[in-house]
Amino acid sequence: MYPVLRVARPTNDLAALLPFYRDGLGFAVVGQFEDHAGFDGLMLGHAQAPYHLEFTRERGQIAGGAPSADHLLVLYLPDAAEWTAAVQRMRAAGFAPVPAHNPYWDQQGLTFEDPDGYRVVLQRAAWTQ
């Protein structure tokens, strides 16, 4: 058995991230909190996935944006119809692809940038180890 994965990072604006991850990428809100020791947070995930994303905002602090254009979250979607639907959902939510910093990701995928400058690749390929 493998552990459940939570990827957590700070943001300055939780509300700005919600349309990108919920409406565009199709994540569901699985939890949220306000003023927990000075932090507000939002967790998003998929019902059957062993991972979720957590975004936090520390009151009175400024979180930096993405350190570089090559800090990525890559979602592998090997089924062509599922990949196309995911891309269409991102576009319908108002998000356009951006050129990948590393051209490898443009070969079989599209890259989208969230309001904080972090990038998500929708990769039309199977995960291989």
What element of type H or E holds 10? Answer: strand 5-10
Report the pLDDT averaged over residues 19-44: 98
Ordered domains of the chain (ranges, CATH): 5-58 (3.10.180.10), 72-123 (3.10.180.10)
Q: What token pair was written down for 42?
A: 């939002």
Place of tokens 């400024």: 62
* Closest of 91, 107, 90 to residue 99, by C-alpha: 107
Reply yes or no on whether the pLDDT at 129 is more than 80.
no
What percent of the chain lies above the pLDDT cut of 90?
94
pLDDT band at 5 (very low <50, low <70, confident <90, very high): very high
Dihedral (C-alpha) 127, 104, 21, 64: value to the nearest 10 degrees?
120
